[in-house]
Structure 1
Amino acid sequence: MYDLRFVVHAPNGPRLGTLPHPLSCDTGWPLDDVPSLRLRYSAHALGADLLASPCEVAVEWSVDGQTWTEDPDSRFLRIKRAVNDVDRTGTAVYEMPGYGWQLRKVVLYPGGTLVDGKRAFLSATAGEILQTFLAEAQARGTALGLDWDFTPERDSADESWSKVLTIYYEPGLDALTTLINLSEQGVCDFRMQGRTLQVFNADAGGELDRDLASGDAPVDLRYGRDIVDAPDEGTLEDLANAVLVVGDDGFRVSFSSGATAGPWGRWETYVGQGGVSDMGTATLLAQAALTRAAAERIQRTRQITLGTARWLPWRDYRPGDRVLAPGDGGVLEPLRIRQITLVRDERGHITGNLILNDRFLERTVRLARRTAGIVGGSTAEGGSGARPAPEAPSPRTPAAPAGLIVNPLAYLDAAGTAQGQITATWGAVITDGGGVALTVGGYELFARRNETGAPWFLIAMTEATDTTATYSPLPVGQAWAFKVRAVNLGQRGPFSAEVAVTIPDDPHAPPVPSAPQLSTRLGVIRIGWDGLGAGGEVMPPDFHRLRIWMQDPLAPGWAEVGYLQAAGSVVVPGQPYGADREVRFTTVDYSGNESAPSPGAVIATVPLVAGDAAEESITTGNLTANAVTADKLAVGAVEAEHIAAEAVTAGKLEAVLTLSTRIVAGSPAAARVELNSAGLRAFNPDGVQTVGISAASGAVAIVGQFASGTVGRRIIINPAGAVDPEIRFYPGSGSNFARMYVDGDGSIIHVSGLSPDGTRRSAVIQRGNEWRAYVYDPATGLAGGGYTLATPSELEVGYNDINANLQRFRFTSAAAEYRGRWSYSGAEAGLIMFALNLNSGSSYSNIGWGATLLSVPLCVVGAEYSSGTGASTLSMFVRSRTTSNFGIAAATTTNTGQPVVAMIWAWRQ
């Protein structure tokens, strides 16, 4: 027999005894909160003296009366009592919080340098934050009996912490408030084991997140055996199908869930959040708000019986576990235990109840945690409130920010495409580079693809008091690096250390679909779907298709028999009469996430008549008008040869044909053309869609090769055998095509056909951080001619070949330069530079330019003795310039016998 007993311990001390005769007790164990015990005990009962002074009471359970167990969160503090002196029974009521309530008495002291009066925790784990509270408190002599088994590096399950925070706390904030807030932000889960605080990574599938609803022996709580009452309380108070998001600098945007109007039409809600100025973050906040407000809010309470139950609290399940329990309509579904309550009455009879969350409510909890991380900038209550206006900053170089953390999330844009969003948080800069106090003017956040040489982009700027920034959209699945710096009156400080994160894809499957709607005639099963989730919710924007599964209950094994992309129905032919068929659905989104199965439905096919009719015994004369309709004809029963020529005319067809199912030409599961309520689709022999025409928008999507012709000058898009998405341009004859394609990093590459002699091709490459046009040798892939290169740091124009004959102009932010050998031959030469050896004398004429130029150039000349010692100065000037030659003269005669080197620079205007 299941029973509870109450064991008294001295405060932080040994066991004192038991309380054998409680009048009643009510014990509640919530998840991620402080448990409570309400105990009624008579002053005349044995053991009452143990409660006369403050003590600890442990609640233990047993199923045989021999072995007793104190489970987590079962140690309570006797700190509050109520008595009535005129009550002759001497009954006292004790209200006791769990042992962890003492964390309220552990407060944060200033300790070291404060930032705007707050204590900073930069890139800190939950373990580091909480251990700081506890260790410093115990060093002051506070809460000496409280222990913990986590460290700054690892949680209580000896797992590395999965999240870090940059956060600021006001001195005086208590540890319990901090712990609960960290839990609300999805950083951790927690409980007490006796006097030891245990903290775990949140939603990690461990001690506080066990899945007992699946596997070979799930914990299934059933009506009559485990559950005797199942009250549900529902409210529409929070219902809304539109939301207005208001952010900074006039940023306003509204969103609609797309759901049909509620009982009273459109209802709206509001999200106001400073710091939001990008569409991605606004979309995340709006989707979270609309999800929470999408349907009736239901609290599911299940009253349990312990006398006949197969599964017992604490022995078989505990708060945080997922179990199978009756949900909507009494159907078993996975539900998470949010609280266990056990009540023991005066006769020792124990009853209890469970508060359960379904998938929808659990997803709402996760969304609330995610939203708290966005709007709070990874800070807890008391962490990032308003700050005093800073004084005018002085023009000094700020120090580098510390503690940069970046939290990436995925969201769905208006088209249902998964996009990435980040929330970055860093430590405030309060000094310059030399450590002198400084008030900065703001911050700049930069990002780039996490690739060597990728350019950095400024993505956000914040004010001096704001150390959190958001940005979107970013492509999912890519790694991005981030860094931040402080700015002070235009003086920019050094960057923080870089932080790299991978932008996650959408991890959430669509809602579980509603149950199939089945009907049958002539061995044909019609399977219908209303387009909604099991709870009546609308499918999200990234919904792709509903998969339809069927099995023989007597020979289990699910097989996919069709799909739908919107509300509608499909027909499954060829099923034997009288044979049961079980049908269920799953939903899939564009990211490949698949929902759990819907509730199943079973149907057995039936014939139209009791037995087969004799051949030709039923003629048209035996049929009344409209006796044979579409749903009475088996698939394939009426073929072309059964219809006389011109028997079906336009007059026999209604003006509009509305499809409630699909029309298939070809194999239903292989190569086919299919018309359904979503539009027209074509599939290849592997069942992969190749053509799609949307009935809603008329948009055309073509998968596979598309050609403008088969011969001659033509374009082929996505040619068969191509590795990357590609377009080919063919000439009038032959196969010397040019092509354009996109590679794995999003670069666009244009490649010409071969040159007439077959030795050269040209290419143009466009990347986010590079633009290049060049000629190359297709046999070797090496450079073979002129090129142009543009990057964020330079521009080059030049020539390069296999023999390393590199000549180029190069332009950077620092200088413009030419590298290579300079040639000035030819009549069109515009810039002429050469040196000339001259014999001693005072004038020199008829010095040739090297060619007859198109115009007379301007010229300057410099001279020096090529060897020996000459005059202290050697002055020369130019005269008699023509298109073919020029002359120079010296102001004084050069030293006899001393050769002179003249250096000429000339140019044509």
Structure 2
Amino acid sequence: MDIGKVLQTLDNRLSNVERSPRLSHAAIDDTSVEVRDSTGSLRGLLGMQADGTTAVNVVNGPPPPQPSAPIVASVLGGVTVSWDGLFADGSVLPLDWARVEVHASILAVYDPIPATLQGTIETAQGATVVVPCDTDVYVRLVARNTSGTASTPSVVVGPFGPLPVVASDILDGIVTTVKLADDAVTQAKVAVGAIGSTEISDNAVTTPKIVAGAVQTAQLDAEAVNASKIAAGAVTTAKLDALAVTTDKLAANAVTVGKLSAGSVDATALAADAITGKTITGGTITGSLFQTDTTGERITLNEADANKILVYDATRAVAELSPDGLGLVGSTGAKMILDPNATYPTLRMSNAADTNEAIINVVEGTAGSADVGINSGKFTASALDWKWRTFFGNDFWVAERVRDGASTTNVGGRVALSATAATIGYNDSTDATADNNLTFISGTAQINGGRLEILPAAYATSALYLNAASGHTGNLLRLLLNGVDKFVVDKDGNVTIAGIGQRVTKRRTTDATKTSTTTVVADTQIASFTADANATYIVDGFLKYSGPGDFQMGWIVPSGTLGEWQGIGNGTTVIGYASGAIQSDASGTFGYMVRTEATDIASTRTYGGIGTSVFGVQVRGLFRVGATAGTISLAWAQGTSNATATTLYTDSHLRLEKVA
């Protein structure tokens, strides 16, 4: 055995193995690859996971960096805590970052524990959390990674407490007498003239409280003094006003015709029901009550001098027409009230118990407008009173779920229409991060704040269908993350995929020519393949050329890039075979010899040409990009300077695929 030949053979085989791509034909079947650090600790799992899914799972990662200081502000009922998405030492967001916890305590010095946890911020851009409290608190933040490992807590910020409630925060009419403590209102708090006779209940003043001579005739109501209060002989004829003595004060037959003066009996002297079956013509009737009956079903006019028309059923008033509006009561006790005493009328519809009502109102939101609002009755959800509101505004329409008595707070489904857009979605005015809306504008539909899930039933047609019109020039599909393209399908169906498996094809759509030059420069169309740092790419393709000056090609790559490539094509001198003989730089009707050398990416190769004969080069190679990202481009020129052009033809193309 020749030991020297054996060792040489083994050395050649080992070199081939080292030059070949790692794991180029490997597979991970029903298992996972463990990634461990220099100490042997498990840091990641690539492949099959314990729950049966397939993923790259980062575990036991180092603690996240310390979050920046929280931004705290006082609000009614508590404080708001915001994180700006930054870290105290200027670190970038770790790949295994999961969330930021918001902790609050009444103590200035404390460690974050479950009892101090008030909420979490799940978005890397930062957000705001509301912390309810009724006293001052101190706030700090803690970051956690996907393994649950906590960072060093942020600095403590505080104390901050809720804003005090001032008069401008109290709704009109919300403080009633039942809310006042006993003896809360003293004489010093009562304004001069604030209490009049209408505020004093009947019989509230007793005789010992009246100063002598305080009550004069002008202070007495009609008929306030009756016979039992008058001493015998106190009233004489001189003391009687005209018409002061009426028939009920006279004894039977006390007044005879002879006692009556001409014209002394007028309407004021007639008893009720004195005129029956007669027609009254002309004149004005004032100060009277008109009614169809005294009890039961009836209609009354000016009852109790109240300037109203009332309609009664058998037991109660069921309709009212007055300057205050129109009111109706149904057989169940439900009520409708039309109130005209505003810029526009309001219609209220309530139940018999007056515990709930729906309202239709018209308001002048802007000068001259007539906006319509429809409000449902209130209902209780999450221990709060809510209602649904529909509003037809000045060139817009909204339907939403709002708080009763706090109409600027809306949480739930919402539809909004305007002259330029239509939006349907979920809105939370207390937490903008929960918003998710689908908006339609001219030519575009957009989902903002949420994600789209399509869950079609089994069907014969496509679950997602897109058909662009003829003449469309933009992409058919484009998926991005943080503004970076991850998956793109252009109008011609070309697919660009970011990450391992990313494949990009560039081709010439026109012929290109070069004359009298051997300096290779980047092609204008087969160029600018994006190359990530520390990534590996394979390249393959077909280049079609002609020209007596030959075709020289090479590469422009990012600094630090290594690799090799091969082009299978003519040698610099074209060796052909025709009529049973080998010939140089002449057409070979039976074929040609080709060059097969491997070439470093830093070098160029020249492939021969014969006059205007068209040849091709099959290209394949591998690029290992270093720490510097950039672009990879085809560079070419003539192999030998010649005034006759070397042409790179339409449909020449290269394809770059990321493999690591």
TM-score, length basis structure 1? 0.23
TM-score, length basis structure 2? 0.29
Relative contact order higher in (CA < 8 Å, ≥ 6 apart)? 2
Structure ID, larger Rg: 2
